[in-house]
Structure 1
Amino acid sequence: MKKLVVVDQSACVKCLGCELACANAFYKEPVSELACIRITEKEDGSPKTLVCVQCGKCAKVCEAGAITKNAKGVYMINKKLCVNCGKCVEACPFGVLVKSEDRDVPSKCIACGICVEACPQDVLAIKES
């Protein structure tokens, strides 16, 4: 299974490089709200990185069958099958499945590694098991 993992949360400096790189890759706009990764804060104010764990909850609620797991264990959205109902966005327990107002299809992490490359602190990694 291939997925994005947080390997060293304590190293995160909340620079948002990962968010901006992700949003730019999917939408050609470096806007944090469009990223499929989220940097939030813990109760003590320290950064908390939320990533897609490839749990499949989005696929379970997709009535159109547009979200399926590929051979590497990554859930992918088939743009041709998606009816843009938004149920997958609502089902995501981490809030990292994103729907842009000007797009017909939501976006989710595909474990591409762009955020990993953008992180100057080596907080993230792509894990294959």
Structure 2
Amino acid sequence: MKKLTVKKGSTCMACLECVRACSNAFYKEFDPGKSCIEIVEKKGAPKPMVCPQCGKCAEVCEAGAITQNAKGVYTVNKKLCTGCGKCAEVCPFGVMVKAEDSPAASKCIACGICAKACPMDVLEVVEK
């Protein structure tokens, strides 16, 4: 299974470069609300919140637009997505995005753009 993870023992400085990279990749603009990665405070320190590929979004998608590929990554078929936003509502990590000005939802596809953008080398895409 391919997924984006936070490296153990790494220190995030909340520079938002990962958030910027993700937002720009999906929406061609910097908007933290349109990023599939979020920086949250955990025990007084910033920490990236990433999609663990749990599949809860796929379970609630009535249109069948969210499916798991051969590498274990859940992806959104933009042609099938109705834009209802149920996937974003059910995401326990808050990293499923349904932007108001977009007809379809988006989520992490473990592409690694955010990991490459991180100056602290906090993120990595791994095969598990």
Shorter-chain TM range is over 0.9
CA distance in 2, matches of 1:9, 1:93: 23
Aligned match of 2:78:
79
Q: With structure 2 as the length reference, what TM-score do the two structures score?
A: 0.96
- Is residue 119 from structure 1 mapped to residue 90 from structure 2 by the alignment? no
RMSD: 1.0
Q: With structure 1 as the length reference, what TM-score do the two structures score?
A: 0.95
How many percent of aligned residue pairs carry the same amino acid? 65
- Is residue 92 from structure 1 mapped to residue 85 from structure 2 by the alignment? no
Moved over 2 A (4+): none
Residues 2-24 of structure 1 deviation map (CA, whole Å, 9 limit, x = unaligned) = 00000046411110000000000
Aligned match of 1:2:
2
Aligned match of 2:55:
56
**Does the 8 Å CA contact 1:8/1:122 hold for their aligned counterparts?**
no
| Counterpart secondary structure, 2:98 | coil
Residues 41-73 of structure 1 deviation map (CA, whole Å, 9 limit, x = unaligned) = 12x421021100000000000011110000110
Deviation, 1:30, is 1.2
CA distance in 1, matches of 2:5, 2:67: 20
Unaligned stretches of 5+ residues in structure 1: none
Unaligned stretches of 5+ residues in structure 2: none
CA distance in 2, matches of 1:75, 1:116: 18
- Is residue 40 from structure 1 mapped to residue 40 from structure 2 by the alignment? yes
CA distance in 2, matches of 1:7, 1:22: 18
CA distance in 2, matches of 1:45, 1:105: 34
One-letter amino acid of the counterpart of residue 116, structure 1: A
CA distance in 2, matches of 1:99, 1:75: 15
- The number of aligned residues is 128
Deviation, 1:40, is 1.1
Aligned match of 1:28:
28
1:9 and 1:57, CA in 2 relative to 1: closer, same or farther beyond 3 A?
Answer: farther
CA distance in 2, matches of 1:51, 1:7: 12
**Does the 8 Å CA contact 1:20/1:35 hold for their aligned counterparts?**
yes
